[in-house]
Amino acid sequence: MSEIERLDGVLAGTIDEQTRNGIWESVKAILEQGPQEGTSTQSTVLALGYVQSGKTTSITALAATAADAGYQVIVALLGSTNLLLDQNSERLEASLGITTRSDYVWVSETNPATDAAGKKLRKFVDMGRVCLVPVLKHAGRIRAVAKQLEKIPDDLRVLIIDDEADQASLNTSKDAESRTYSAIRELRKAVPSHLYVQYTATPYAPLLLDAADILSPQHVEFLTPGKGYTGGKEFFIDNADRVVRNVPLLDEQASKTPPLQLQKSLHHALASFLAGSALLLLHDAASPPISMLVHSTARNDVQARYEFLIRRQLEQWRKTIVSGEIATVADVIQEERRRIVSNGAEDVDDLDFVDKLKVVIFEAMTWLVNSAADVNKVDWHVSPIHILVGGNKLDRGFTVEGLTVTYMNRPASPQVDTLEQRARAFGYRGDLLPYCQFFASKKTVRSLTELVHTEEDLRARLRDHVESGGSVHTWAREIGLLLPEDMTPTRPSVVTALSKMGLGWHQMRTPSRVPEDTAYNRSLLAQLGLMDAPHSPQGRLSFRTIHLDSIEPIEKLLNEWARPPYSPGWLHDEFVDAVIRGFAQLKRATVMLMEDGDGPRTRKWSGDLGFVNLFQGRDLKPQPNGDYYPGDRFVENLETEPNQIVIQVHRTQVRQHETDGEVLALAIYLGSGLVVRKESNV
């Protein structure tokens, strides 16, 4: 039996056939980029998944497929902490059956650093074994493994898997090479014939690397999550009203001072977790483990305080609850129970609820997971109920089993990849969404919501670009990332030479003043229906306005608009592209005819720079009757709802040249974010 057939049989117990077929297709496509037998090539492939979407399953399938294809050494960089290395290597070994099979296909050698370990590894290769080599992502460990692999035959094909490849692997030094990056260079040099596969759900840094960087991917494979996967879209868009809970600004853990007591929002989060766990255990005996994540800060001492306060609260509830007596259940737990039921969970009678809640509270175990704690691993088997308190150790790559409630009162990171990786709530079964709650500040929630669009735009645009003959590097230069305002893709020490185009408002300062062009543009507006559209009030003023739910008429208007070849600051093709990208998310755009009553406005013109300013400003004070105009830049409630697409057509006359006739000029509001691209060094 092949390794693919054996593993597929194992996966069939939990994964449907369609999802499994997708997994096998993607890993076979990855291996096609590797060296052919007898050749020495070194390709880099980026395997792009979603946060908590089963990347470990894909890694396992890739290892099995590689074994069938004749790879005998599979080096797996599985984490930058021992906690992650142990978690991932144990799951990989278990799925491949390395520790339970007796057919002598596989061996696993973790961190083979000594000459004796290297000699043992080479002996297994000579015996025809497939050697899995889990390695800690640490410079010293990687260099030691590279030294031993130098001694294997150069024509032996090696698969190198880099999990969470956008984190510790990349070069963080501007003057020289950072230690881990340098060690990976030595590892790749030690095995001339290899395929290097980067796994990540946050690919922003690898995709924006210089083309000459050794970790810059030449190919991208898009991994598809299985049925029932819950990601950012399910949490922050489709089910935000029942899943997302606000952490007030005062409850954020921004300072170095540990809290004196549980914040009210954390009190509710803990109550929600306990109530939901009781209901889950009553309805689904196979649901354990059930867990809660508390992520407040990177400081170990503050995390320890949170863990103590949670234990103290659990102890208080243990002392007061009495089996069968609903009156002994805290009001906040009852409140959260009602919320969960209103979200779609099935309720039970009070007697059963109290009895199971008492079990949940008594079984609940707290785990302090950080570099200062004694916990080396979370033992999910000692209890059905777990509360994990930590920081950086609990974000990137760490799998929180059965996570239902997340409390994240750590201030939002401006880095896209860091913030996304903290959202460990993703990946849980869709049918358990009624029990899931995500507590975070409005800023964090807003950023994560906007990042859903960033993620979807990246995948769609990158896939389209590559399938039409482009490369990762031309995508980075020509298309780039669509990011929320005030956010960066990754650490500035990793990726340099980026250009940023702010979205927001852009005005065509030098439109065509040729009468024939103006007439043609008026005909475009007439076809669109704008010239006789009803007036829409914007405070004191009103303008002809249409709302479009199709991109085709907008593309036609912008692409056919008669204009001169150059207007200062007007990047026409980029703006059209940004409108199309934004519309893909928003599904709506507004087009307005900006006039003075039913006639053109008069604006000052300055030489080659064109119109000094198309926009009319806001009223300095309201009219006696209270009417107020917010200004052209804030129509359509843009001040409070900035994520929109608005196209304004300004009917204007050039001051002191009114007899020349009117001029039609465009102004476009592209949304509240920015587009980040790789600067070309050509």
pLDDT in tens, 123-170: 999 999 999 999 999 999 999 999 999 999 988 999 999 998 998 899
Q: Is 474 within the bounds of a domain? A: no
Take residue 63 and report the two structure tokens written for it: 């290892």
The model's confidence at residue 271, banded by pLDDT at 50, 70 and 90, is very high
Instruction: Quote the longest CA-to-CA distance of the chain.
Output: 93
Q: Are residues 434 and 529 in the same domain?
A: no
CA dihedral of 253, 257, 262, 264, whole degrees rounded to 10: -50
How far the first Cα of the chain sits from its last, in Å, is 52
181 touches 171 (CB < 8 A): yes
Q: Are residues 109 and 155 in the same domain?
A: yes
Q: Is 472 within the bounds of a domain? A: no
Q: Are residues 162 and 276 in the same domain?
A: no
pLDDT of residue 373: 65
pLDDT of residue 376: 66
Check whether 567 has a pLDDT greater than 50.
yes
Average pLDDT over residues 80-86: 84
The span from the CA of 473 to the CA of 680, in Å, is 10
Q: Cis link prior to 289 (omega < 30° from 0)?
A: yes
Check whether 464 has a pLDDT greater than 70.
yes
Residue that the structure tokens 């009223």 belong to: 619
Closest CA relative to residue 456, chosen from 492, 418, 415, 420: 420
Q: Are residues 328 and 434 in the same domain?
A: yes
Closest CA relative to residue 403, chosen from 273, 307, 290, 295: 290
pLDDT of residue 419: 84
Q: Are residues 571 and 594 in the same domain?
A: yes
DSSP one-letter string for 502-515: E-SEEE-SS----H
Q: How many domains does the chain have?
A: 3
Q: Is 227 within the bounds of a domain? A: no
Q: Is 163 within the bounds of a domain? A: yes
The model's confidence at residue 298, banded by pLDDT at 50, 70 and 90, is confident
pTM: 0.85
CB atoms near residue 560 (< 10 Å): 13
- 188, 222, 256 - which closes a domain: 222
Q: Is 480 within the bounds of a domain? A: no
Q: By three-state DSSP, how is residue 97 classified?
A: coil
Q: Find the range with the poorest average confidence among 22-36, 279-293, 318-332, 426-440.
A: 426-440
Domain housing 418: 232-450
Q: Are residues 247 and 367 in the same domain?
A: yes
pLDDT in tens, 483-522: 988 889 988 888 888 888 888 999 999 999 999 999 999 9
Question: What's the 3-state SS for 152-213?
Answer: CCCCCCEEEEEECCCCCCCCCCCCCCCHHHHHHHHHHHHCCCEEEEEEECCCHHHHCCCCCC
The span from the CA of 255 to the CA of 411, in Å, is 10
- 186, 203, 222 - which closes a domain: 222
Q: Is 218 within the bounds of a domain? A: yes
Q: Is 653 within the bounds of a domain? A: yes
pLDDT in tens, 363-397: 999 999 876 666 667 888 999 999 999 877 666 66
pLDDT in tens, 315-327: 999 999 998 899 9
Check whether 681 has a pLDDT greater than 60.
no
Q: Are residues 75 and 168 in the same domain?
A: yes
Burial class (CB in 10 A: 0-12, 13-18, 19+), 101: exposed
pLDDT of residue 2: 94
Q: 190-227 burial, b if ≥16 CB within 10 A, otherwise e? A: bbbbbbbbbbbbbbbbbbbbeeebebbbebbbebbbbe
Q: Are residues 411 and 527 in the same domain?
A: no
- 193, 222, 251 - which closes a domain: 222
pLDDT of residue 566: 87
The span from the CA of 86 to the CA of 77, in Å, is 11
The model's confidence at residue 345, banded by pLDDT at 50, 70 and 90, is very high
Q: Are residues 117 and 192 in the same domain?
A: yes
Check whether 38 has a pLDDT greater than 90.
no
Q: Are residues 138 and 255 in the same domain?
A: no
pLDDT of residue 682: 47
Q: Are residues 48 and 119 in the same domain?
A: yes
The span from the CA of 682 to the CA of 680, in Å, is 5
- Of residues 682 and 115, the one with the higher pLDDT is 115
Q: Are residues 559 and 602 in the same domain?
A: yes
The span from the CA of 295 to the CA of 388, in Å, is 8
The model's confidence at residue 238, banded by pLDDT at 50, 70 and 90, is confident
pLDDT of residue 452: 85
